Every structure is written in structure tokens, then in C-alpha cells.
Amino acid sequence: MKKLNQKSLDFIDDVIYRQKDRMGPIKLMLHEIQEELGYIPFEAMEKMSEALEVPISRIYGVVTFYTQFTTEPKGKHVIGVCLGTACYVNGSQTILDLLVEMTGAPVNGTSPDGLFSIDATRCVGACGLAPVVSVDGTVFGCTKQLEDLKMVVLNYKKEEAPV
């Protein structure tokens, strides 16, 4: 397990201090920590458990229940492919396979270069646009936007390529 640097540890301590007396502090803390660090490290859960005097299993349960939380660092660009029913029957599996091939990231994992993470998600509530893919929060719907999606991925790859 990778150890956190002092700056990250201090940030976690600050979040806990500011949020611990608020109503429902666990999710508030988790959101803030993930926003800053990009994931929820186990050390953060340990610190929260101690400060809130709750079992770490309760915090871990929250982290693993909500799909927006992750215990692993994500790539620089996060791609979510909806595999809900409407998206799946409209070809999202084909899109997911193409993105895995283009990025080198496994499903629910990160590419070796750390540039992309691909998440297989469930319904994102945009069934009328099915199939739906999000890239860093920008939603692409319908297969007619597939070329746009390819260009976004290729442009990110080009930006990161060594000069």
C-alpha cells in the first residue's frame, strides 16, 4: 500500500476537523477527500474511523456502496460507459470494447500510462440518448457522436505524447 505524503495527511486531518460535528459527516468527508486526492486511501478511512469513533467497516461500507467513490487512484481522464439496459441494447458494449482497445485501460481500471480510467457504469439517467458515455463529466449520447468520442480520446492521447 502506497503511503500518503504529509500534505495529503494534513488535508485529511483538516477535512475531519471541519466536518466531524456536522450531520452525516462520513459522506461529506469522503467527497472532499476524493475531490482533493482523486480517491479514498485506506489511511483516510482509518483517520475518519478514529476521529468519529465508528468502526472502519462502516466507513468502508459507505465507500464501497456508492459508485462515485474509489479506493484506487484514477487516470487523468475518466471515461464512464453506461451498461444500463437502454444503453446496452443500443451498443454500449461495442463502444466499451473500442475504448478499451484505444486507451489500453481495462474495464474498471486504469491504463498503464495513467492517462485513462474506464468505468463500466449502470444507468446514468440519460436513456433517451442511449448509448451514453461520459468523459471527464462531458456526456456523449447516441452512436452518431461516436466519432466525436474517438476524437476526444485521440486528442487526449496526442496532448500527452512526448514531443
Residues 4-9: what's their mean pLDDT?
86
Q: Is residue 61 located within the same domain as residue 127?
A: no
- Per the structure, the count of domains in the chain is 2
Lowest mean pLDDT among 36-45, 51-60, 143-152: 143-152
Q: Which of 28, 45, 65 corresponds to the end of one domain?
A: 65
pLDDT at 163: 59
Which residues constitute the domain of residue 99? 77-160
Same domain? For 86 and 118 the reply is yes
Are 103 and 79 contacting, i.e. CB atoms less than 8 angstroms apart?
yes
Task: Please report, in angstroms and rounded to a whole number, the separation of the first and last CA atoms in the chain.
Answer: 33
Residue 155 sits in the same domain as residue 101: yes
Q: Are 43 and 89 contained in the same domain?
A: no
Asked whether residue 1 is domain-assigned, the answer is: no
pTM reported for the whole predicted model: 0.71
What is the Rg, in whole angstroms, of the alpha carbon atoms belonging to the chain? 18
pLDDT category at 143 given cuts 50, 70, 90 is low
Flag whether 70 is in a domain: no
Residues 150-163, mean pLDDT to the nearest whole number: 81
- Among 37, 65, 93, the domain-final residue is 65
Side-by-side strand order, sheet with 138-141: 109-110, 116-121, 77-82, 132-135, 138-141
In a domain, residue 72? The reply is no
Residue 120 resides in a domain: yes
Grade residue 144 by pLDDT with cuts at 50, 70 and 90: low
163 exposure class (CB count in 10 Å sphere: 0-12, 13-18, 19+): exposed
- Compute CA 19 distance to the chain's CA centroid, rounded to the nearest angstrom: 23
Cell of 40: 479514498
